[in-house]
Amino acid sequence: MRVLGIETSCDETAVALVETNPWSTDILAQIVSSQIDLHRPYGGVVPEVATREHLRNLPLLVPQVLKDLNLTLDSIDAVAATEGPGLASSLLIGHSYARALAVALSKPMFGVNHLEGHLYSPFLANRRSVEFPFVGLIVSGGHTLLVHALGWDRYIKLGSTVDDAAGEAFDKVAKLLGLPYPGGPEIEKIALKGNPEAFGLPRSFPERDNLNFSFSGLKTAVRFFHEKSAQMRNDPEWINDLCASFQKAVIDVLVRKAVQAVAQARVERLAVSGGVMCNKTLRDELEFACYEAGIELILAEPSLCTDNAGMIAGVAAEKLAAGIEPRCGDDINPNLNLFSPEPHGDMARGLNAAIKLKNRQSKQLPEEGDVAPAGEVEVW
Q: Which residues bind ligand KG4 (CB under 6 A)?
A: 10, 140-142, 167, 170-171, 182-185, 188, 274-276, 278-279, 306-307
Select the binding partner of residue 278 from ligand KG4, Zn ion, none (C-beta < 5 to 8 A, by kind).
ligand KG4
Q: Which stretch binds Zn ion (CB under 5 A): 48-56, 137-145, 226-234, 337-345?
A: 137-145
Nearer to Zn ion, 140 or 204 (CB): 140
Q: In the bound complex, what is the minimum distance in angstroms from residue 144's beta carbon to ligand KG4?
A: 10
| HEC-encoded secondary structure of the chain | CEEEEEECCCCEEEEEEEEECCCCEEEEEEEEEECHHHHHHHCCCCHHHHHHHHHHHHHHHHHHHHHHCCCCHHHCCEEEEEEECCCHHHHHHHHHHHHHHHHHHCCCEEEEEHHHHHHHHHHHHCCCCCCCCEEEEEECCCCEEEEEEEECCEEEEEEEECCCCHHHHHHHHHHHCCCCCCHHHHHHHHHCCCCCCCCCCCCCCCCCCCCCECCHHHHHHHHHHHHHCCCHHHCHHHHHHHHHHHHHHHHHHHHHHHHHHHHHHCCCEEEEECHHHHCHHHHHHHHHHHHHHCCEEEECCHHHHCCCCHHHHHHHHHHHHCCCCCCCCCCCCCCCCCCCCCCCHHHHHHHHHHHHHHHHHCCCCCCCCCCCCCCCCCCC
> 170 is in the binding site of which of Zn ion, ligand KG4, none (Cβ under 5 to 8 A by kind)?
ligand KG4
Q: For the segment 155-174, give every residue that binds Zn ion (CB under 5 A).
A: none
Give the sheet arrangement for strand 134-139, strand by strand: 154-160, 144-151, 134-139, 269-273, 296-299
- One of 11, 171, 186, 307 touching Zn ion (CB under 5 A): 307
Choice between 83 and 307, CB closer to Zn ion: 307
Residues 275 and 304: their CA atoms lie apart, in Å, by: 9
CB of 278 to ligand KG4, least distance (A): 4
- Contact assessment for residue 379 and residue 264, using Cβ atoms and an 8 Å cutoff: yes
Least spacing, CB of residue 20 vs ligand KG4, in Å: 25
CB nearer to ligand KG4: give 306 or 359: 306
Burial class of 46 by CB neighbour count within 10 A (0 to 12, 13 to 18, 19+): middle
Binding residue count for Zn ion, defined by CB under 5 A: 2
Q: Toward ligand KG4, which CB reaches closer, 171 or 241?
A: 171
Residue 167 partner contact from ligand KG4, Zn ion, none using kind-dependent CB cut-offs of 5 to 8 Å: ligand KG4
Q: How far is the CB of 259 from ligand KG4 (least distance, A)?
A: 19
Stretch that binds Zn ion, among 136-144, 191-199, 255-263, 327-335 (CB under 5 A): 136-144
Query: Which residue's CB is nearer to ligand KG4, number 25 or number 90?
Result: 90
Closest contact distance (angstroms) between CB of 312 and ligand KG4 is: 13
Question: Closest separation between CB of residue 300 and ligand KG4, Å?
Answer: 11
171's contact among Zn ion, ligand KG4, none, with CB below 5 to 8 A by partner kind, is ligand KG4
Confirm or reject binding of residue 116 to Zn ion (CB under 5 A). Answer: no
Contact between 140 and Zn ion by CB under 5 A: the answer reads yes
For 158: left if phi > 0, alpha if psi spans -120 to 50, otherwise beta; the answer is alpha
Q: Residue 182 binds which entry of Zn ion, ligand KG4, none, with Cβ cut-offs from 5 to 8 Å by kind?
A: ligand KG4
Q: Which is nearer to ligand KG4, 278 or 365 (CB)?
A: 278
Q: Considering the rule CB under 5 A, would residue 113 count as an interface residue with Zn ion?
A: no
User: Which CB sits closer to Zn ion, 14 or 290?
Assistant: 14
Q: Which is nearer to ligand KG4, 53 or 351 (CB)?
A: 53
Contact residues for Zn ion (CB under 5 A)?
140, 307
